[in-house]
Amino acid sequence: MKKTLLSILSLLITLCSFSQGIQFEHGTWTEVLEKAKISQKPIFIDVFTTWCGPCNMMSNEVFPLAEVGKVYNTNFICYKVDAEKGEGAIIANQYAVNAFPTYLFLKADKSLIMKSVGRMPADKFISLSENVKEELGTSKTITVWDKEYVQKKSDSSFLLAYMHKRSRLGMKNAALFDEYLTLLPNEKRATKDVIELYKQEGENLKITSVAYKNLQTNAFVLYPQLGGYSNSILSFAVENSFKEAIKTKNELLLQQVIDANENIPKIQQPKQKEEFYIGYYKGTKEIDKYVSHATTYSETTLMTVSLDTIEKQDKANYQIFEQSKGLYLSMMKDSARVKELGDYMAHTIHSKYSEALNDIAWGFFENVSDTKALENALRWSKRSLEIYPSEESADTYANLLYKLGRKEEAIIKEKEALEIAKTKKSETKSYEDVIKKMKAGEKTWK
């Protein structure tokens, strides 16, 4: 009788656990590792940040589902870490986490089984667990593959299989993709395998890569197969190369980036020409050039667009969305994401101009001390708030007021930023900290 009661109790606990979704461990990383060793289960880690929208969506809508809990609680020791705090920051750095949310699947010895990124519906998230089990069942680990690569790097079939293995582990293959294409004759650089590699690695390419040049050379065959994603790949390559130009302070590469950007359809272009100069000189800390380009662009482009024009453009964009709403629902199979897309389309142009003005105004706040330049930035910040109010824009305006010596006005405006953040249920601590510093007369900038 006692044994039966214990069995029933165990079953009830299990069912309760599943009904509550994923049950995350609350101990230290060392304790989690020890539990994994004892249970002989792999570890699932959700690496998140507090400001990450997709992270919150997964935590609120996917992780609590009973069907998700049943799979993950049975097969894994589950753990959540904030990538910006304590042990979470150490784990994120150790496994090269640079996007959120990232899902790490590890053995108890800390070796990586698989890595995945981004929000996803429950069925796809559950399918990750199947991939992990399949990976655990193989005897050919990534270490073995790495050793074979040294000997077989000139074998295109091996390279293709090697890239698939690495992709399953969440590893990037842009350099290997170039090596693979180099081994192929031109007539075989647009096969199904190549197209799949573009889909996997498109966001990691650069304008100097073989894959980027191949996309242009074989555009007639590749573009129809990739659809609209081909333009996205071009945009990714431009952005990646732009970051490299800043990092290496390479103005020649900057010009190549600007030229490459001109070849992307206008609707897909990540930036206008002047924005590249602004971002580049800000990134390389050439402040005089940054101020010159940012002032010209703000006064002649961003400040000259009327609110009426912006409103008409957003209405037109939303009408297009409404006409295609059914298609989005059938493709995404997620009504919440479709609604989110619709909300974005309703004010995308408002956001574009508001964010552009706010970014420049904030850049001046952080890097400029000249009063006249700061007064200009204050005007741009005010216009940003008029176009599309947000906690970020209100915070920028408040900080500029404060830097210009208008303390009382600054505190009032920072409190507005805090209230907007509360309304949106966004992070509020940074705004509270700024208010404290302003009241105490402390600097709010570096």
- Which string of DSSP letters, residue by residue, matches 217-271? HTHHHHHHHHTTHHHHHHHHHHHHHHHHHHHHT-HHHHHHHHHHHHTS-GGG-SS
Looking at residue 11, what is its pLDDT? 45
pTM given for the model = 0.73
In the three-class reduction of DSSP (H, G, I as helix; E, B as strand; rest coil), residue 77 is classed as strand
**Would you state the pLDDT for residue 4?**
45
pLDDT at res. 6? 44
Judge whether residue 223 has pLDDT over 80. Answer: yes
Mean pLDDT of 384-401: 96
Q: Are 47 and 105 in contact (CB under 8 A)?
A: no
**Does the active-site annotation cover 78?**
no
pLDDT at site 171: 82
Q: Is the pLDDT of residue 420 over 50?
A: yes
Cα(398)–Cα(421) distance, rounded to whole angstroms?
A: 14
Q: Is the pLDDT of residue 7 over 50?
A: no
pLDDT confidence band for 269 (50 / 70 / 90)? low
Question: Percent of the chain scored above 70 by pLDDT?
Answer: 93
pLDDT of residue 267: 65
Q: Return the bridge partners of 115, or none.
A: 104
Mean pLDDT of the chain: 90
Q: In which element (H, E) is residue 368 found?
A: none
Torsion of CA 304, 309, 311, 314, to 10 degrees: -100
| Domains of the chain with CATH codes | 17-136 (3.40.30.10), 142-270 (no CATH), 297-440 (1.25.40)
**Burial annotation 170-207 (CB, 10 A radius, 16+ → b, else e):** beebbebbbbbbeebeeeebbeeebeebbebbbbbbbb
pLDDT at 105: 94
Q: Is the pLDDT of residue 418 over 70?
A: yes
Note the pLDDT tens digit of each residue in 258-268.
Answer: 999 998 887 66
Do residues 204 and 240 make contact, with C-beta atoms less than 8 angstroms apart?
A: yes
Residue 331, pLDDT > 70, answer no
pLDDT digits (tens, 9 = 90+) for 87-139: 999 999 999 898 899 999 999 999 888 888 888 999 989 988 988 888 888 87
Residue 282 has pLDDT above 70, yes or no: yes
* Residue of 181 and 139 predicted with greater confidence: 181
52 is catalytic: yes
The contacts found for 419-427 with CB under 8 angstroms, 24 or more apart, are 420/389, 420/390, 420/391, 420/394, 421/391, 424/391, 426/51, 426/391, 427/50, 427/51
- The pLDDT value given to residue 328: 64
Of 52, 132, 357, 438, the catalytic one is: 52
On the question of pLDDT at 1 being above 60, the answer is no
Q: What is the pLDDT of residues 20-68, one digit of tens each?
A: 799 999 999 999 999 999 999 999 999 999 889 899 999 999 999 999 9
Look at residue 333 in the predicted model and tell me its pLDDT.
63
Question: What pLDDT is stored for residue 150 in this prediction?
Answer: 95
pLDDT at 3: 45
pLDDT at res. 18: 43
Q: Of 33, 55, 417, 438, which one is the catalytic site residue?
A: 55
